[in-house]
Amino acid sequence: MVINMDVLKRIPVKEQDPKVRARNFEEVCLGYDKEEAMEEASRCLKCKNAKCITGCPVSIDIPGFIKAVEAGDIEEAYQVISKYSALPAVCGRVCPQETQCEQRCIRAIKGESVSIGKLERFVADWARVNDVKPEAAKEKKSQKVAVIGSGPAGLTCAGDLAKMGYDVTIFEALHEPGGVLVYGIPEFRLPKDTVVKSEIENVKALGVKIETNVVIGKSTTIDELMEEEGFEAVFVGSGAGLPKFMGIPGENANGVFSANEYLTRSNLMKAFDENYDTPIAAGQKVAVVGGGNVAMDAARTALRLGAQVYIVYRRSEEELPARVEEVHHAKEEGVILKLLTNPTEILVDDNGWVKGMKCIEMELGEADASGRRRPVEKPDSEFELEVDTVIMSLGTSPNPLISSTTTGLDINKYRCIIANEENGQTTKEGVFAGGDAVTGAATVILAMGAGKAAAKGIDEYLQNK
Amino acid sequence: MYRIVKKESLNPTVTLMEVEAPLIAKKAEPGQFIILRVDSNGERIPLTIADFNRATGTVTIIYQIVGATTQALDHLKEGENIQDFAGPLGRPTETEDFKKVAVVGGGVGCAIAYPVAKKLYEQGCEVHSITGFRNKELVILEEEFKKVSNKLVLMTDDGSYGTKGLVTDALKTLIESGEKYDAVITIGPLIMMKFVCALTKEYQIKTLASMNPIMIDGTGMCGGCRLSVGGKTKFACVDGPDFDGHEIDFDEALTRSSIYKPFERRAHEEVCHLYEMEVK
Ligand SMILES: Cc1cc2nc3c(=O)[nH]c(=O)nc-3n(C[C@H](O)[C@H](O)[C@H](O)COP(=O)(O)OP(=O)(O)OC[C@H]3O[C@@H](n4cnc5c(N)ncnc54)[C@H](O)[C@@H]3O)c2cc1C
Ligand SMILES: Cc1cc2nc3c(=O)[nH]c(=O)nc-3n(C[C@H](O)[C@H](O)[C@H](O)COP(=O)(O)OP(=O)(O)OC[C@H]3O[C@@H](n4cnc5c(N)ncnc54)[C@H](O)[C@@H]3O)c2cc1C
Ligand code: SF4
Ligand code: FES
C-alpha cells in the first residue's frame, strides 16, 4: 500500500465524520493502524540530542520508542514508553503535544512535526489489544504507603511505588477510580471501558490496592492513616475539583450548571445512555461560558445530547486555552464560538428556569502582567442571547476537605497545597502531594510528572527513615 | 459491597435498613449523611444516617420510596448488598450550647430528626419534639422519639392520630404557652421548613434547617446542591446540610428541587402506585 510520501507532512489520522460523530459518544479520532504508524515513525530523524524529549514533562525516550515502531517491534516500543509513563493510552490522546514534545520536534522547523502523540497512542492501544503488561516488582517491601485520589497523579505515584516494591493503597472518594479521566474528559475523547479501565487494571496488576467510596477528611483522615493504620507515608493527589461560579444575578436558576456537574452526570453516571438511571437536563439551546478544555468538552457533550451550542468567551480565539485540536473538532461539529463576549446576567422565567443570558461585547486592551491582552467592556454593547441552559466552565480550585482536616498541612492563598516541586514533600513530615491539588487545574501529564517525582521523594524518605 | 443486615418496613412507604459499613459507623455524627448507589447502572442518592452502632459497625438509613432509586433499594432483601455506600458526609448538626430545644420533624424527615433529638437528649438538653404526618398510617418512630424527648407532640394533617393540624400549629402553641427555646431544629419537606422558619423568625428564635437539595457527588465538586444562604452561594453537601433557617432562600430551593422532574426517565413508567396513592 502506498501512503502519503511527502516527508514534510504527517500521515493523516482517520477520524469519524463530523456530521455523524456530532450525534454519538464514540471516539472521534480512530488512530493509526500498524502500517500507518510505521510509515509515520519513519519520518522521525532519531536525533542524538532529541529536542522532543525536553518538551515531554516525563522525558519519555521518544526516538527510542519510535525506532522500535519503525522496525515493527511494537512490544519493545511499549516497554520503552512504560519505563517513563504509566498511562500512555491516555496521554497519547489528551496531552497538548502541540505545546510540548511536538512543538520542539526538529521536523516542525520545516514542515509538520512527527505525530508523537498519535504514535504513543498506537503503541499503547496495540499493547492493550495484545495483552502486553508492564512488569511487576520482584521484591516486596513491608512499608505501607497511602495514596489519596486515583487521578493521573495518584495512579502514577502508586504505580511507581509498587514497582519499587512498596505496599500501596489508593483511597478514592467516588465509586470509580480515574479522577478527571472518568468524570471529566468525555467518552468521545477518551473511551472509559477500554482505555481508562485497562490502564487502571495495569496499575492494579502491579499490586496496587484501590479502595473506592472513601472520602479522606470525612471517612477517615490523613492523621489517622498515619497514626492508627500504619501508613508510613502519604501522597495527596486529590485534584482541583471545586467549581467556580461568576457571581452574576440568576446563577442559581434552574438550567445553570457547573461544567463539573454536567460532565459528571454524562461521563461518570453515563446519563447519556438510556440504560443508566441518572438524569441530565441536556437543554435545547446551550451557552457554555469559558474557553478551556473543560468548556470544549461540555459544549461537545451538550451537542451530542441534541442541543444547539454556543461557547461564550471573553477574549479572542487566539487566547482560547483549550487544545487547538479540540477547538477545531468543536467547530467542525457545529459549536458556535461567541468570542469577545462576557455574560452579565442570567435571565429567568416565571418558573425559575433560564430563558436567556445578557452579555456584553469585549475588546482587547493593553497586555497585563501575564502578557495577555486584557479584555475590556465595549460601552453600550449589551445584547441578549436566547438560551435555556447555561454551563459555567470558569475553572476549578482544590477542595479544602483534606487541608482543613490534616494538622500541619499548609496551603497557599489559592488553597493549593504547598509542596516541593522536586520531591513533592509538603509542610507535614511524611506527606507528599502533587498534581492539580498543588498546581491548580493543569494537565494530565504534569500531574503524572508530579506523581512520579513524589514517588521518588517518598522512596528516599522511607529509605532514610 | 455493603451488606444489609436488617430491613424493616416502618409504614407503607418508609423502610429502615441497617447496613454493614464499619468505617462510616466509626465516624458518624447526627446530621451527617451517606451517598449510595444501589447497582452499577444506578444513580447516587443521599440519605441521612438515622442511627449508627460503632460496636457492630452498622449504619441505619430510613428512606421513603419516592422514585426509581428508592424503589430499587427497596427491592433488596436482608443479606443482599448495596453496591456503593460512601460517608459520613456533610457537617454534623451543631448541638453544643443548647439547653432547651424544639425538634420539628415532618414525614420521613422525622428519621433525620431522630438522631439529632437523641444526641441532644443524651447531652442533657431539654428536648421538645414535634412530629408531623399526613395520617395515622404514615406515623414512624413514635416510641423512639418518646424515649429521647421531655415532651412529644404528634400531629396528623387529618387528625387520624395524635393532634389534628400542622407542626407549625403545635410549635406556635408551645411558644405562646411560654416555652423558651434556645433553638429550633427543623427537618422535613422544604415547604414545611419554610413555614417553621417564618414562624420562628417572628419570635426571633435561632433556627437550624436541614436542607435536602439534589446531590450527585456529595463531596463539593459539582455545585448541584447549591443554595443561597444570606445572599451567598453555599454547597449543602460540604457547607451543610444544616443552615440558619432565617437566611435560607427557600423559594429558590423549592424551584431547584424540581430541576430533574421532567427528566426522571425510568421513574415515569415504573413509579409505583404507592407513590401516587400514599405519598401525594
Ligand atoms: C473536562 C476536563 C477536560 C480536560 N482535558 C484535558 C486534556 O485534554 N489534556 C490534559 O492534559 N488535561 C486535561 N484536563 C486536566 C486534567 O484532567 C487534570 O489536570 C488532571 O486530571 C489532574 O490530575 P490529578 O491526579 O491531579 O487530579 P484528578 O484527576 O482531579 O484526580 C483527583 C482524584 O482525587 C479524588 N479525591 C478528591 N478529594 C478526595 C478525598 N478527600 N478523598 C479521596 N479522594 C479524593 C477525586 O475524586 C479524584 O478521583 C481536563 C480536565 C477536565 C476537568
Ligand atoms: C442530605 C440529604 C439527606 C436526605 N436524607 C433522606 C432520608 O434520610 N430519607 C429519605 O427518605 N430521603 C432523604 N433524602 C431525600 C432523598 O435523597 C431522595 O428522596 C431520593 O434521592 C429520591 O431518589 P429516587 O430516585 O427514589 O427518586 P427520584 O426519581 O430521583 O425522585 C422522585 C421525587 O423526589 C424528588 N427528589 C429527588 N431528589 C430529591 C432530594 N434530594 N430531596 C427531596 N426530593 C427529591 C424528585 O423531584 C421527585 O419528585 C435526603 C436528601 C439529602 C440531600
Ligand atoms: S525531535 Fe522529532 S525528529 Fe527528532 S527524535 Fe524527536 S520526534 Fe524524532
Ligand atoms: S453534591 Fe456536588 S457539590 Fe454538593
Alpha carbons A145 and A122: distance in angstroms, whole number: 33
Q: Is the pLDDT of residue B266 over 50?
A: no
Domain locations in chain B as residue ranges = 2-89, 100-257
Per-residue model confidence as pLDDT tens digits over B109-126: 998 899 999 999 999 999
Contact A242 B220 (CB under 8 A): yes
Question: What is the number of structural domains in chain A?
Answer: 3
- Whether A207 maps to a domain, the answer reads yes
Same domain flag for A204 and A247: no
B2-89 under CATH 3.40.50.2300, yes or no: no
**Nearest bound ligand to CA A66?**
3
A304 & A379 share domain: yes
* Ligand 2 centroid – CA B51 distance (Å): 18
The reply to whether A8 falls in a domain is no
Among residues A395, A411, A444, the one where a domain terminates is A395
| pLDDT of B280 strictly over 50 | no
Listed as ranges, residues in chain A with pLDDT below 50 are 1-2
- Whether B6 shows a pLDDT value over 90: the answer reads yes
Claim to verify: residue A161 and residue A116 sit in the same structural domain: no
Read off the pLDDT of residues B173-228 as tens digits, 9 standing for 90 and up: 999 998 999 999 999 999 999 999 999 999 999 999 999 999 999 999 999 999 99
Domain contains A136? no
Q: Would you call A165 an interface residue with chain B, using a CB distance cutoff of 8 Å? A: no
Question: Does the pLDDT of residue B241 top 70, yes or no?
Answer: yes
Minimal C-alpha gap between B171 and chain A (Å): 31
Domain boundary among A377, A395, A413: A395
DSSP symbol at B227: E
CA distance B129 to chain A (A): 29
Residue A7 lies in a domain: no
- A399–B228 CB contact, under 8 Å: no
Per-residue pLDDT at B271: 41
- Give A137-143 contacts, CB < 8 A, sequence gap 24+: A137/A162, A137/A163, A137/A164, A137/A165, A137/A206, A137/A207, A138/A165, A139/A165, A140/A165, A140/A167, A140/A207, A141/A165, A141/A166, A141/A167, A141/A462, A142/A167, A143/A167, A143/A232, A143/A233, A143/A462
Whole-structure pTM value: 0.91
Q: Do A25 and A118 belong to one domain?
A: yes
Q: Ligand 3 centroid vs A86 CA: distance in angstroms?
A: 22
Asked whether residue A138 is assigned to any structural domain, the reply reads no
Give the residue from A130, A163, A195 where a domain finishes.
A130
- Ligand 1 centroid to Cα of residue A319, in Å, is 23
3-state secondary structure (DSSP) of residue B66: coil
Q: For chain A, what percent of residues have pLDDT higher than 70?
A: 99
Q: Which of A94, A180, A265, A403 to mutate to test the pocket of ligand 1 (most atoms within 8 A of CB)?
A: A180
- What is the structure's pLDDT at B95? 80
A291 within domain boundaries: yes
Domain span at A250: 243-395
Distance CA B248, CA B209 (A): 9
Residue A78: CATH number of its domain: 1.10.1060.10
Q: Chain A: nearest CA to B271, how far in angstroms?
A: 13
Q: Is the CB of A85 under 6 A from ligand 1?
A: no
Round the average pLDDT of chain A to a whole number and report it: 92
Does A56 sit in the ligand 3 pocket, CB within 6 Å? no
ipTM: 0.87
Per-residue pLDDT reduced to its tens digit, A276-291: 888 888 889 999 999 9
Residues A258, A362, single domain; the answer is: yes
Assess whether A262 and A403 both reside in one domain: no
Per-residue confidence (pLDDT) for residue A5, from 0 to 100? 62
User: Binding residue per annotation — B64?
Assistant: yes
Interface test with B, best of A150, A169, A175, A245 (most B CBs within 10 A): A175
The CATH class of B100-257 is alpha beta
* Residue A312 sits in the same domain as residue A385: yes
Q: Does A404 touch chain B (CB under 8 A)?
A: no
Assigned domain for A107 exists: yes
Q: What is the mean pLDDT of residues B16-45?
A: 93
Q: Which positions in chain B have a beta carbon within 8 angstroms of at least one beta carbon in chain A?
A: 23-24, 27, 37, 41-44, 68-69, 72, 83-89, 216-217, 219-224, 226-228, 233, 238, 252, 255-256, 258-260, 262-266
Using a CB-CB distance cutoff of 8 angstroms, which residues of chain B are in contact with residue A264? 216-217, 221-222
Each residue's pLDDT tens digit, A334-383: 999 999 999 999 999 999 999 999 999 999 888 877 777 888 999 999 99
Q: Ligand 3: does its nearest atom lie under 6 Å from the Cβ of A50? A: yes
Please check whether residues A72 and A174 belong to one and the same domain.
no
Q: Is A242 on the interface with B (CB under 8 A)?
A: yes
Ligand nearest to the CA of A91: 1
- Output the residue whose Cα is nearest ligand 2's atom 20: B45
Residues of chain B positioned with their CB less than 8 A from the CB of A398: none
For residue B222, give the nearest of A260, A280, A352 by CB distance: A260
Nearest CA to ligand 2 atom 6: B47
B125 is in an annotated binding site: no
User: How far is the centre of ligand 1, averaged over its atoms, from the C-alpha of A141 (Å)?
Assistant: 29
Residue B63 annotated as part of some ligand binding site: yes
pLDDT tens digits for range B249-265:
999 999 998 888 776 64
Which residue has its alpha carbon closest to ligand 2 atom 52?
Answer: B212
Pairing of strands B58-64, B14-20: antiparallel
Specify whether A119 is located in the same domain as A215.
no
Q: Which ligand is nearest to the CA of A182?
A: 1
Which residues of chain B have a CB within 8 Å of the CB of A173? 86, 217, 219
Question: Is residue A2 situated within a structural domain?
Answer: no
Q: Do A363 and A271 belong to one domain? A: yes
User: Using CB atoms, which residue from A257, A270, A401 is nearest to B220?
Assistant: A401
State residue B264's pLDDT score: 61
Kindly give the distance from the C-alpha atom of residue A447 to the centroid of ligand 1, in angstroms, as a whole number: 8
> What is the 3-state secondary structure of chain A?
CCCCCCCCCCCCCEECCHHHHCCCCCCCEEECCHHHHHHHHCCCCCCCCCHHHHHCCCCCCHHHHHHHHHCCCHHHHHHHHHCCCCCHHHHHHHCCHHHCHHHHCHHHHCCCCCCHHHHHHHHHHHHHHCCCCCCCCCCCCCCEEEEECCCHHHHHHHHHHHHCCCEEEEECCCCCCCCHHHHCCCCCCCCHHHHHHHHHHHHHHCCCEEECCCCECCCECHHHHHHCCCEEEEEECCCCCEECCCCCCCCCCECEEEHHHHHHHHHHCCCCCCCCCCCCCCCCEEEEECCCHHHHHHHHHHHHCCCEEEEECCCCHHHCCCCHHHHHHHHHHCCEEECCEEEEEEEECCCCEEEEEEEEEEEEEEECCCCCEEEEECCCCCEEECCCEEEECCCEECCCCCHHHCCCCCECCCCCECECCCCCEECCCCEEECCHHHHCCCCHHHHHHHHHHHHHHHHHHHHCC
Question: Which ligand 4 atom is the nearest neighbour of the CA of B220?
Answer: 3
| Cβ–Cβ gap B221/A265 under 8 Å | no
Question: Does A418 lie in the same domain as A374?
Answer: no
A281 vs B: CB within 8 A: yes
Smallest Cβ–Cβ distance between B219 and the set A252, A254, A401 belongs to A401
Contacts of B87 in chain A (CB under 8 A): 215, 218-219
CATH code where residue A297 lies: 3.50.50.60
| Residue B279 banded pLDDT, cuts 50, 70, 90 | very low
Question: Given ligand 1 and candidates A172, A212, A238, which is best to mutate, with the most ligand atoms within 8 Å of its CB?
Answer: A238
Taking CA atoms only, the protein residue closest to ligand 1 atom 10 is A443
Is A399 part of the contact surface with chain B (CB cutoff 8 Å)?
Answer: yes
